[in-house]
Amino acid sequence: MKDLFSVAGKVVLVTGGSRGIGLMIARGFAENGARVYVSSRKKDACDAVAAELSKTGTCFSLPADLSGEAGANALADALADREGALHVLVNNAGANWGAPLAEYPDAAWDKVLATNLKAPFFLTRRCLPLLEQGATAADPARVINIGSIDGLMAPLLETYAYSASKAALHHMTRVLARKLAPKRITVNAVAPGPFESKMMAATLDRFRDAIVSSCPLGRIGEPGDMAGIAIYLASRAGAYVTGAVIPVDGGISTCS
């Protein structure tokens, strides 16, 4: 059973890995023997996380701006300079924007879709040679896209571009899963509910009690919940799963 869920020795790249859900995932991989690269726009934040996680595992800083295709390509190329294979790509970097319907700006759509949808596509494409090198029939390479329950159900907040981008990311996950299966690469999405993160901080400050009361399991997500699903999908236990969108939300999405 220990071997079934092992990620020891795997090379893992986590975008948006310096805080929130990305950090939860990066920490889980590092503490369980993976060789982890964390990426975000801010070099100082990446360096600090890499230093922290290296106390209990192996972690490196690889900062990048994923707001455009050039940044995604540069990140993949920088990883290729350091590693000959990639076993797990976690597309977690994301952006959000809230505004009333009548005021929702064009700039919001450009920023949010570029980060949440285009960046995972371009980074996955550029990483394909490394992923193919890390893939075997028994243990495929993995792409794990971090979506949201806002892409599964209509959110109460006016985050139009965010919810649309996450729904699109879920479907792109299925499309890529079918396309990349012959290359021995699985593609799955995780749809988190409420977790402690900078992106969720303002919402939790205002609506924590209501969110907890609406959750069938009666709590906010914890770091181990997010690390656990990522490790499952990346380990041999998840080797035959592809094209799935898995809610990790305490049952909230079942209530819509």
Instruction: List, by residue number, the catalytic residues.
Output: 162
Report how far residue 155's alpha carbon sits from residue 214's, in angstroms, rounded to the nearest whole number: 13
* Kind of pairing between the strands at 185-192 and 11-15: unpaired
Q: Which residues pair with 89 in a beta bridge?
A: 13, 143
Of 176, 216, 165, which Cα lies nearest the Cα of 193? 216
CB-hemisphere CA count at 13 Å for 52?
15
Report how far residue 158's alpha carbon sits from residue 151's, in angstroms, rounded to the nearest whole number: 13
Residue 7 makes CB contacts below 8 A (sequence gap 6+) with 29, 32, 33, 34, 88, 231, 234, 235
Of 134, 140, 136, 92, which Cα lies nearest the Cα of 115? 92
Angle at 188 between CA 95 and CA 241, to 5 degrees: 165
Handedness of CA 49, 55, 56, 61 (dihedral sign): positive
Of 9, 18, 17, which Cα lies nearest the Cα of 86? 9
